[in-house]
Amino acid sequence: MDKDELTQWALANGWQMVDGHPSLTKPSPPHPAIVRLILKGTVVNLEIKKPIGKWEKVASASYGKIQPDEETGFPRGIGLDTISGFHALMQDNKNRLVFAKKPGA
């Protein structure tokens, strides 16, 4: 996967652009970003925000090592599948975006 493919996947799966990076936010207001992908020229960094407010890099991989899952399209090789509670956070973000766009919501 390249930078554009990762960005498209992220935005289609509940991520939002926050400060120029695909990010997942906290479930409760004011929804600050707590997970983000830093998409550089040749590598992707996965960062998680610590409770003290500092970003910590938890994984890094070159674009060539990131491959979409054949069935789901989920990017493998960056470590997204190793974060505890990641899928629930991603689903919450996706649901929040869907319901925010719903007419009359």
Residues 84-101 have pLDDT tens digits of 788 889 999 999 888 877
**pLDDT of 82:** 78
Residues 87 and 69: beta-carbon distance below 8 Å:
no
Domain spans, the chain: 3-101
Task: Give 38-60 as a 3 state SS string.
Answer: EECCCEEEEEEECCCCCEEEEEE
Q: What is the mean pLDDT of residues 1-5?
A: 94
Residues 59-87 have pLDDT tens digits of 999 999 999 999 988 999 998 887 778 88
> pLDDT confidence of 105, banded at 50, 70, 90?
very low
Reported pTM = 0.85
